[in-house]
């Protein structure tokens, strides 16, 4: 009689109650230790990228939307000495820049591993205000044709954000781990991979910049929509090949966008002069 009931002590909880509370506390500790650690955990230090990353920041972008500054806040832009480069600072690794004369490729993997990868953080609408020539680097490189997946320029060819440019270059060079790390900091980061599953895979198989250009041109010509939109760019490339000293196959849409902005200004000035004469 009364064997199924726990005896109550006048001076405190019963043994069964103490055992039950101790078991619950142990279960809580196990649950907490098995839970995944979140990025926003204040006590956790962010994972450091394998590749040293850096950028030139010209302060032209919206601070809240700037992917380069967000990478800096996460501590992922870590050159050996600098976090953000100054205009007169040199960078010994690969620099993604419109003044490059060839595409980034597997040939650059060794230099990227040894010296790092840098990007120029600026507004696409203000390219003419950026002194690209003063940004000293022994290896400026172009990116092949890719489409932006970021919310600001979504769907626009070649107008990539800093994180997209860095990730694309690293995937092309076989550094997928660091690319996944930095794109994983953005909610839309996976969209960039989804948009370019086949294209990035094709680029990463190329051994040099010339092969990447061939893959790019084949991709564009196989797509009727992009073929129509890029026809003027191809005409400009064939006519201006001797002006910039690049062979036709090495011309790239990122490189041509810088020239087009200057051409538009000249056309506007010509139109204004014509109106004044009339």
CA distance 166 to 179: 7
Closest CA to 149 of 141, 157, 138: 157
Cα separation, 67 vs 159, in Å, equals 13
- Determine whether the annotation assigns residue 111 to a binding site: no
**Residues 166 and 91: beta-carbon distance below 8 Å:** no
Find the distance separating the first CA and the last CA of the chain, reported in whole Å. 115
In the chain, what's the furthest Cα-to-Cα distance?
115
Q: Specify which residues 95 forms β-bridges with.
A: 118, 140
Q: Is 67 annotated as a binding residue?
A: yes
8 Å CB contact between 169 and 141: yes
* DSSP reduced 3-state for 41: coil
**Residue 63 labelled as part of a binding site:** no
Among 208, 239, 237, 207, residue whose Cα is nearest residue 220: 237
CB 91 within 8 A of CB 85: yes
Strand order in the sheet with 117-121: 84-85, 53-57, 117-121, 94-96, 139-141
Detail the residues annotated as belonging to a binding site for S-adenosyl-L-methionine.
Answer: 67, 120, 143
- Binding-site residue set: 67, 120, 143
């Amino acid at each position: 009689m009364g064997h199924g009931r726990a005896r109550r002590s006048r001076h405190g909880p019963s043994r069964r109650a103490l055992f039950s509370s101790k078991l619950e506390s142990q279960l809580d500790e196990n649950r907490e230790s098995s839970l995944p650690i979140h990025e926003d955990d204040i006590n956790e230090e962010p994972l450091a990228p394998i590749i040293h990353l850096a950028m030139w920041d010209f302060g032209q972008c919206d601070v809240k939307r700037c992917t380069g500054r967000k990478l800096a806040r996460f501590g992922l832009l870590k050159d050996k000495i600098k976090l953000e480069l100054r205009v007169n600072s040199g960078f010994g690794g690969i620099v993604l820049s419109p003044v490059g004369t060839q595409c980034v490729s597997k040939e650059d993997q060794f230099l990227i591993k040894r010296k790092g990868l840098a990007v120029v953080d600026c507004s696409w609408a203000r390219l003419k205000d950026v002194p690209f020539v003063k940004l000293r680097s022994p290896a400026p490189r172009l990116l092949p044709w890719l489409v932006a997946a970021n919310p600001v320029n979504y769907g626009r060819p070649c107008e990539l954000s800093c994180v997209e440019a860095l990730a694309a270059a690293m995937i092309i060079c076989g550094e997928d781990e660091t690319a996944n790390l930095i794109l994983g900091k953005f909610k839309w980061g996976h969209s960039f991979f989804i948009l370019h599953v086949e294209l990035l895979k094709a680029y990463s198989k190329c051994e040099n910049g010339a092969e990447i250009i061939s893959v790019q041109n084949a991709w564009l010509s196989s797509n009727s929509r992009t073929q129509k939109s890029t026809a003027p760019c191809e005409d400009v490339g064939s006519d201006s090949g001797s002006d910039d000293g690049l062979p036709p196959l090495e011309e790239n849409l990122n490189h041509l966008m810088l020239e087009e902005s200057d051409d538009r200004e000249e056309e506007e000035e010509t139109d204004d002069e014509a109106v004044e004469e009339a």
